[in-house]
Amino acid sequence: MKREIPLLIVLVFGVFMAFQYFVPHRISSNIYQEFNNWTIIIGIFTMVIGIASLLSVHYSKIRFRKEGWGYSFVTIISLIGMAGLGLFGGMENDLFIHFYRFGLSPVTATMFALLAFFIASAAYRAFRARTVLSTLLLLAAVIVMLGRVPIGEIISGWLPEPLQLSKISEFLLYVPNTAAKRTIYIGVGLGVAAVSLKIILGIERTWLGGDGK
């Protein structure tokens, strides 16, 4: 029964969700809304597990003084501090807003801004025209990088339109890029449909845990 009940739940709900998509009736829509709310409620329980797991991992690092335990200490203090401020002081609490605006915001913005430096270094060291394919990739990257910013217009604006960097860049984005992306999306879509069907019909059971038996 431990296996049969979850499999039955997945079958019933999976078939209903596929069915209701094609039946825009009020009853079907109301049940569907209710199921969506259940999904959110069930999802919130995963957050509890996530927080418990985070606390457990970092507490263990602090307790056994593992490498970088100081960062774990900061993580736990930040988690408890921000959660406490938000829960007891509300989302509009000055201290909560200040920690967000002058703590979290600059830190995450700085991390993202550093990407420009890493990309420049990586491009210098790794972008090599070793093979025909890598040369094509390199050329496409250079054209798009220049064609998508104003300087591309200045460099190639005097050329006939089909040879201008902005036009070649537009062609690369609309034609080869779109063709490749569509192929990937269609492949992924068919894969998702096939796996979903296997799960709904109980053929794929690894989600049950263990080896699925």
Partner 1 sequence: MNQQQMPSEGFWSRLINIDRRWIYLVIGIVVFIPILFPIGLPVQVTKEVQNVYDRIDSLKAGSIIMIPMEYDPATMAELQPMAYAILRHCFSKGIKVISTALQIEGVTIIKNDLELIAAEYGRKYGEDYVFLGYKPYPGIVILNMGEDFRKPFPRDYYGNLLDSLPMMAGVYNYSSCAMIVNINATSGVDYWINYAHTRYGAPLAIGVTAVMATDYYAFLSSNQIFGLIGGLKGAAEYEKLINHPGLAMRAMDVQSIAHSVIVIFIIVGNIAYFSSRKKKG
104 versus 201: smaller Cβ distance to partner 1: 104
Assess 87 for contact with partner 1 (CB under 8 A): no
Kindly indicate which of the ranges 51-59, 68-76, 95-103, 190-198 contains the residues binding partner 1, using the contact rule CB under 8 A: 95-103
At closest approach, how far in Å is the CB of 67 from partner 1? Answer: 25
* CB contact burial 154-190 (16+ within 10 A = b; e otherwise): eebeeeeeeebbbbbbeebeeeeeeeeeeeeeeeeee
Query: Least separation, in Å, of the C-beta of 125 and partner 1?
Result: 7
Q: Is 85 in the site for partner 1 (CB under 8 A)?
A: no
CA 179 – CA 187 distance, rounded (Å) = 12
Give the Cα separation of 143 and 168 in Å (integer): 7
**Does residue number 206 form part of the binding site for partner 1 (CB under 8 A)?**
no
| Residue 44 engages partner 1 in binding (rule: CB under 8 A) | yes
Q: How many residues sit close enough to partner 1 to count as binding (CB under 8 A)?
A: 54
Q: Does 140 bind partner 1 (CB under 8 A)?
A: no
What residues have CB less than 8 Å from 7, skipping those under 6 apart? Answer: 202, 205, 208
Q: Which stretch binds partner 1 (CB under 8 A): 48-56, 65-73, 101-109, 204-212?
A: 101-109
Helix H or strand E encompassing 17: helix 4-21
- Among residues 163, 123, 167, which one has the least CA distance to residue 148? 167
User: Alpha helices, DSSP H only, in 64-93?
Assistant: 69-89
- Give CA–CA dist 174/84, Å, rounded: 49
Give the interface with partner 1 as residue ranges (CB under 8 A). 21, 29, 33, 36-37, 39-40, 43-44, 47, 91, 97, 100-101, 104-109, 111-113, 116-117, 119-121, 123-125, 127-129, 138, 141-142, 145-146, 148-151, 153-154, 166, 170, 173-174, 177-178, 181-182, 185
